[in-house]
Structure 1
Amino acid sequence: MNTQRPVDVHAHAVIPRYHRLLAEAGVAIPGYGTGGPGLVGEQDAVTDTDDAIARRISMMDHAGVGRQLLSAIFAPYLTDESAAVGAARCVNDAHAEMAAKQPDRLAAYAALPLPHVDASLLELRRCLDDLGMVGIALQCFCFDESLAAERFEPIYAELNRRKAVVFFHPCVNGLCSPLISQWGLAPTAGAVFEDTTIALHLIVRQIPHRFPDIRFIVPHLGGALPMLLSRLDNQLPLSTPGLPERPSVTARRFFYDTVGHGSAAALRCAVDAFGADRIVPGSDYPVLLGFESYADTFGYLQHAGLPETALHQILTANVGQLFERK
């Protein structure tokens, strides 16, 4: 993967036909049947039309970004297996079509039709072997179940065999807690807690040790994880005996993207906690467009007070390491 310019590892595109399909299956999609504002239709630059793709590339050029890696905003997780497979194929084909029009500038992670493991393995193989996708995107949770749960291990085994990249993303379920959701916190603090929790679940289940050839990306600077490492080292072994190493060491095996709503303090905390060699560029495009421009999403890194060597690692060097074939 060419990394002379930053690679945005965390970007999305609105695929209207896919979102319509999910809405018809009963998934709450903003802009479909809600009567309120949503992603769809607000900015045609975030869709998959030819004109919109051209505007996306122009925006990337203005920001100095070389490539975007696309993942689904809403995962194709449906209880009906055939519906889940149809939704996964829809979004994966749409992303593959976008990437084929700009192969040097766009690529995509595969979405899987969870919770259906056998069907997900088939779609994983189709996407990586036939569609040429760069990795797999998983939401932190499938309904009320962690993606670190034991029954999903066949997927990790296949990903480990392929030495694949796995990108996690919040599903905005508020951790199934009314103390989050009923207070309107699911998209804000809830998403951060999802990032933190899936990383902790992976550590507790020893996923990075049992499947050591998978490279994981945890979004949003790891949520609250950078501030918990010492506490985890002190206390987690008491409730989870038998861990192969200190939790802080395992946490430094993950990569983390830079999506932080422009918070230089959060970025510096993550760099200090994990090391500059574990941080990769991300934008969460188009989610933050109401708050900052696409260029500003990366511009805040330049003004965070990081050493030039650390900034170079984050912006250009680490993605090459992340996606290199071992």
Structure 2
Amino acid sequence: MKRHDGRELGGKSGMQMRGCACGCDNTLSLTGSGLSRRQFVAGAAAVAATGLGAGLGTGLGGSRAFAQGTDAKPYRIDVHHHLSPPSYIQAVIENHLGSPPQIKWTPEKSLADMDAAGVQVSMLSVTQPGVNFTSGDTARKLCRESNEYAAKLISDHPGRFGSFAMIPLTDTEGSLKEIEYALDTLKADGIGLLTSYHDKWLGDPSFLPVMEELNRRKCVVYTHPTTADCCVNLLKTEPPTLVEWGTDTTRTIGDIVFSGNAQKFRDIKWIFSHAGGTMPFLIERFIGQPKIDAKFKPAVPDGALAELVRFYYDTAQTANKASMSALTAIIPTSQILFGTDFPYRTAIDHVKGLRSCGIFSDAQLKDIERENAVKLLQRLNA
């Protein structure tokens, strides 16, 4: 079996909690800024228009210095970095959800972690369960407040943050409205989706109107795993973070590819978390399925691999030799992005892991940690 460059494959190879006992204070205001909604939105949009790239610089010689904990100019771009807006924290607590890192997150913690590892810009996203635990106007309101809070952080900390906006995907009208507001008014850098919504994955026909709009806008779409309804509490010995989330990422990749959406919506720029879940290990099955069953061939006229190598994959919780060997056996380095999964893991974990795994040259590390994201994200490129 061949990899993307013609070589043979195989050479290299927040737990969802029911109830919170963290004892945290959930009496938090939405912004704490004293600004009116109009002032805030206007200010955020003005800052966004200046671009995120200011201060990034091009001197990347400090990569090893940061890996060793010494001073150097920050330049890394983290595409997998979570925020918890105050209204979102309150909502997950009220619904007996959330994990301590999620609930106790603050902007100051993010900035401190970024500074410790030479991360200049983090792309913010709300992690699972997103708004899967609610619906209707409540879900719309929570998405709006979360996206506005992210825009405020971008305004308050110029050049340090970007955002992948949250939408209520099962609500088509609400999603289309929030896409318009987030991208056109708040100037978000893309849209953040979960890998599944109850028992529907991202190739589901009910999501087609939203996919059409994301494709029309040539949107960057970041995805994060979650636990589908089918697979909650399958085993008492295994939280969903252990196996299920990697599996759900793989399910949604397969659904996008074999539903034909990858072919139909070629202008969506997909980012998949955690090195694509179990997809690299299952690559032979992805490639072989259309050969086994002809009904899958129309969805992948050039083969499944041709679609998979166009997607982007982050390094969050996979900055190790096993995961990176498997991913790079089939996916070009140009499609790999630096991700940390903060606040569940630290940026310095991933800086050190990518170096100690022995997979990448200095030039490839530069691409993964910065250049690939600069090419993908319009404001960084500006």
After TM superposition, the score normalised by the length of structure 2 is 0.74
Match status 1:286 vs 2:343: yes
Match status 1:29 vs 2:97: yes
Matches within 5 A, 1:291-306: 293-305=346-358, 306=360
What residue is the counterpart of 2:204 in the other structure? 149
What residue is the counterpart of 1:10 in the other structure? 80
The answer as to whether partners of 2:79 and 2:124 remain within 8 angstroms in 1 is yes
Distance apart, 1:153 and its partner CA:
1.1
Distance apart, 1:182 and its partner CA:
4.6
Match of 1:80 among 135, 151, 159: 135
What residue is the counterpart of 2:103 in the other structure? 40
Gaps of 5+ in 2: 1-51, 59-74
The answer as to whether partners of 1:195 and 1:219 remain within 8 angstroms in 2 is yes
What residue is the counterpart of 2:45 in the other structure? none
Matches within 5 A, 1:1-326: 2=53, 4=58, 5-24=75-94, 26=95, 28-30=96-98, 39-41=102-104, 46-48=105-107, 52=108, 55-74=109-128, 75-78=130-133, 80-173=135-228, 176-177=230-231, 180-239=234-293, 240-242=296-298, 243-288=300-345, 293-305=346-358, 306-324=360-378
What residue is the counterpart of 1:34 in the other structure? none
Q: Distance in 1 between matches of 2:164 and 2:332?
A: 25
| Counterpart residue type for residue 98 of structure 2 | P
SS at match of 1:282: coil
From the superposition, tell whether residues 186 and 123 of structure 1 become closer, same or farther in structure 2 (CA, over 3 Å).
same
Q: Distance in 2 between matches of 1:237 and 1:108?
A: 40
Distance apart, 1:183 and its partner CA:
4.3
Distance apart, 1:298 and its partner CA:
2.1
Distance apart, 1:21 and its partner CA:
2.3
RCO higher in 1 or 2 (8 Å CA, sep ≥ 6)?
Answer: 2
From the superposition, tell whether residues 126 and 178 of structure 1 become closer, same or farther in structure 2 (CA, over 3 Å).
closer
The answer as to whether partners of 1:208 and 1:253 remain within 8 angstroms in 2 is no
Q: Distance in 2 between matches of 1:38 and 1:316?
A: 26
Give me the CA root mean square deviation: 2.2
The answer as to whether partners of 1:136 and 1:165 remain within 8 angstroms in 2 is yes
| Counterpart residue type for residue 85 of structure 2 | I
SS at match of 1:277: helix
Distance apart, 1:57 and its partner CA:
2.4
Q: Percent identity, please.
A: 27
Q: Distance in 2 between matches of 1:76 and 1:128?
A: 19
- For these two proteins, the number of residue pairs brought into alignment is 305
Distance apart, 1:79 and its partner CA:
5.1
The answer as to whether partners of 1:180 and 1:190 remain within 8 angstroms in 2 is no
Distance apart, 1:320 and its partner CA:
1.9
Going by fraction, where is helix more abundant, 1 or 2?
1
Q: Distance in 2 between matches of 1:181 and 1:127?
A: 38
Q: Which moved more, 1:160-169 or 1:68-77?
A: 68-77
Distance apart, 1:228 and its partner CA:
1.9
Distance apart, 1:311 and its partner CA:
1.9
Distance apart, 1:90 and its partner CA:
1.6
The answer as to whether partners of 2:125 and 2:192 remain within 8 angstroms in 1 is yes
SS at match of 1:241: helix
Q: Distance in 2 between matches of 1:164 and 1:107?
A: 14
| Counterpart residue type for residue 300 of structure 1 | G
Q: Output one character per residue of 1:85-133: Cα deviation in whole Å (capped at 9) or x when no partner.
A: 1111121111111111113010111100231001110011000000010
Distance apart, 1:187 and its partner CA:
1.4
| Counterpart residue type for residue 301 of structure 2 | P
The answer as to whether partners of 2:272 and 2:312 remain within 8 angstroms in 1 is yes
Distance apart, 1:224 and its partner CA:
1.0
Q: Distance in 1 between matches of 2:284 and 2:304?
A: 9
Q: Which moved more, 1:125-134 or 1:245-254?
A: 245-254
Q: Distance in 2 between matches of 1:83 and 1:296?
A: 37
From the superposition, tell whether residues 280 and 178 of structure 1 become closer, same or farther in structure 2 (CA, over 3 Å).
closer
Q: Distance in 1 between matches of 2:259 and 2:338?
A: 27
SS at match of 2:84: coil
